[in-house]
């Protein structure tokens, strides 16, 4: 999506935590689920734009919560990387491994004014190998 009519989401820059080491790119077929949060006061047509975006990048839409202005998007790592122009990787740290992103999150200009954030990219595994919950904040 880079180079097309896109905008970086303000405040979305992330870098790997200190003391971590990048192991490899994320498996392109790994399932990824993120929560897209809309800004307060957006018009009802904003939900249609989100649906268009999901369809364009072959993402499934999950739970939609109008009161919290959020919708869950699901897809493979490869589709999420294309949709949001992010780079997902596996990292190692003292507590185990995690999947995370590096850089900015990008959205089409049609969504730039309505999307507040995209959360849930990071999934951690403890040193014992057990999956831990996605790391992120709500809307």
Please write the tens of the pLDDT for every residue from 27-61.
999 999 999 999 998 888 899 999 999 999 999 99
- Residues 84, 85, 89, CA angle at the centre, nearest 5°? 100
What was the pLDDT predicted at 119?
A: 94
- β-partners of residue 125 are 97, 131
Distance CA 65, CA 113 (A): 19
What was the pLDDT predicted at 79?
A: 97
Quickly count: other Cβ atoms within 10 Å of residue 126's Cβ: 12
Coil, strand or helix: which one is 97?
Answer: strand
The 3-state DSSP composition of the chain as helix, strand, coil percent (nearest 5) reads 15, 45, 35
- Low pLDDT (below 50) residues in the chain: 1-3, 131-133, 135-139
What was the pLDDT predicted at 138?
A: 40
Quickly count: other Cβ atoms within 10 Å of residue 137's Cβ: 9
Q: What is the pTM of this model?
A: 0.84
> Chain centroid to CA 73: how far?
8
What was the pLDDT predicted at 4?
A: 57
What was the pLDDT predicted at 5?
A: 66
């Amino acid at each position: 999506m880079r180079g097309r009519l896109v905008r970086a989401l303000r405040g979305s820059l992330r870098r790997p935590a200190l003391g971590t080491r990048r192991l490899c790119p994320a498996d392109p077929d790994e399932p990824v689920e993120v929560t897209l949060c809309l800004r307060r006061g957006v018009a009802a047509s904003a939900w249609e734009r989100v649906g268009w975006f999901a369809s364009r990048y072959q993402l499934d839409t999950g739970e939609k919560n109008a009161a919290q202005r959020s919708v869950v998007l699901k897809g493979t790592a490869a589709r999420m990387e294309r949709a949001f122009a992010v780079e997902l990787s596996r990292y190692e740290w003292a507590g185990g491994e995690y999947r995370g992103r590096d850089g900015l999150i990008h959205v089409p200009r049609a969504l730039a004014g309505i999307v507040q954030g995209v959360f849930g990219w990071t999934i951690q595994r403890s040193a014992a190998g057990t999956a831990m919950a996605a790391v992120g904040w709500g809307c």
